[in-house]
Every structure is written in C-alpha cells, then in structure tokens.
Amino acid sequence: MEPAIYIDQVVKTYRTGAEDFTALDRISLDIAEGEFVAIMGRSGSGKTTLLNLMAGIDRATSGTVRAAGTDLGPLSESGLAAWRADRIGLVFQFFQLLPTLTVAENVMLPMDFARTVPTARRRERAVGLLDRMGVADQADKLPSALSGGQQQRAAIARALANDPPVILADEPTGNLDSQTAGAVLELFTALNAEGRTIVVVTHERDIRSIVSREIALRDGRVLADDRTPEAAS
C-alpha cells in the first residue's frame, strides 16, 4: 500500500540576502495511512517548513514529495490548490477564519472551491460538522464573537469540509489554554480513529500519550523517529 505521505531526499533552501539558508537537509520519511504523527523540534528546526511541503503550500528545492496519492512536484499552483482543497485538511495555530464571513460560511468555503458537495447541501454539511465539533450554536456568528477554543473547533470543521484523508495541523493548540488544548487533541484522536492520517506540528509535552509516532527535527534533519509505546502495545 502506498504511504499517505512520502518524502525522499528533500532539500528546502531559502535565499536570505547574499547567502542560502537550508531549512531542510536531505530528509527522507514516509507516513502510513492512518498514522497519527507528531513532528517536534525547537524553533527553526524545520518542522513547519516540512508540514508546508506536505501541504503543497511550499515547494521543495529538490527531492520528491508525494501526499494523498499525488506527486506534488509537477503540479502548477492552481493544480496544487485544487488538490489541497480535495485531499488535505489544514488547521493552523491562529485559526485563519475569514472575519467577514459567518462561521458556517467559513466551513462552506472549501466546498465552494472544490465543488465536491452539491450547493444545496453545503450549509447542511457545514452545520453538521460544526455540531460534531460542539459549536453548531455558533454557526451564524462572526469568528470574532467566538472564544479561541470555539474558533479552533470551527477551523477543524472547515478542514473536514471535503472529507480529506489527510489532516495537517501546525501548532493547533499553541494559542489555547491547557484545558481547551486537551479537548482539541481529543478531537484529533477521534478523527484518527476513523482512519484519517494526521500530522501535527506541536510543542505539547503530553502529545506522546495520544500519537502513534514522534518525529523530532534538528537543524533541518531527522534527529529521531520513534513509535510511541502506546502504538506498539
């Protein structure tokens, strides 16, 4: 079976002034379908860069990135956007909900773009996803009226809009208090139990208790790649 994510000898270099900065240095790894993986590392280790390559938000300088059954290298920018809308759910630290749209309209946006859900059913699906996240009563409010935890739940609902097989989350609990963060991680656990592949960039110390694998980066390289005791048992 093809892995959900396949990274082979990937290098990512940025030009900073007169010099090049190597954010990722010949990284190779694969993530199986249904894995729940945490990518850890200090600031500047390359973890967000790696996640962005998996999402097709950024491009590798060299090497191969395959995700959700697609080689991302040959795709155009519009092709990447279409693939991402259909195959990847994205969750960010600062939610990135559009402030002038209601919560339900934010969740409907990926459906409007990908057109995978009939127009007449999009509102119903959006409210259903918000209900699953426990915030259906916030559907017709603007994001600014919601707490941080409610906004993140809405953002997860948006990530699920087109039923993607892979969810990528960049510090999804970094802007939340510890109790709310724990509740959000429980949502990811439930989504993983349904068979979705989940990759989370995080600093959460307790993440080891729920993920099946930890990948630690340092200076753009894989420092450690360990399956947790819970996954092995």
Give the DSSP letter string of 124-161: HHHHHHHHHTT-GGGTTS-GGGS-HHHHHHHHHHHHTT
Q: CA distances (Å), 49 to each of 174, 198, 217, in order?
A: 17, 17, 11
Give the model's pLDDT for residue 230.
52
Please compute the mean of the pLDDT values over residues 50-64 and round it to a whole number: 96
From CA 222, how far away is CA 230, in angstroms rounded? 22
pLDDT at position 15 is: 84
For the chain, how far is it from start to end, CA to CA, in angstroms?
23
Residue carrying the six token digits 């729920």: 210
Q: How far is CA 155 from CA 68, 110, 130, 133, in A?
A: 21, 11, 9, 10
pLDDT recorded at residue 91: 94
Domain boundaries defined on the chain: 33-59+73-232
Q: How far does CA 78 lie from the centroid of its chain?
A: 19
In angstroms, the CA 123 to CA 143 distance is 17
pLDDT of residue 232: 42
Q: How many angstroms separate the CA atoms of 100 and 138, rounded?
A: 15
Q: Is the pLDDT score of 183 beyond 50?
A: yes
Integer CA distances (angstroms), 168 to 156, 188, 196, in order: 10, 10, 11
Distance of CA 38 to the CA centre of its chain: 11
* pTM exceeding the 0.75 threshold for the entire prediction: yes
- pLDDT at residue 228 above 50? yes
CATH class of 33-59+73-232: alpha beta
What is the amino acid identity at position 176? Answer: L
Mean pLDDT score of the chain, rounded to an integer? 92
Contacts of 160 (CB under 8 A, 6+ apart): 89, 129, 167, 191
CA pair distance 32, 2, nearest whole angstrom: 8
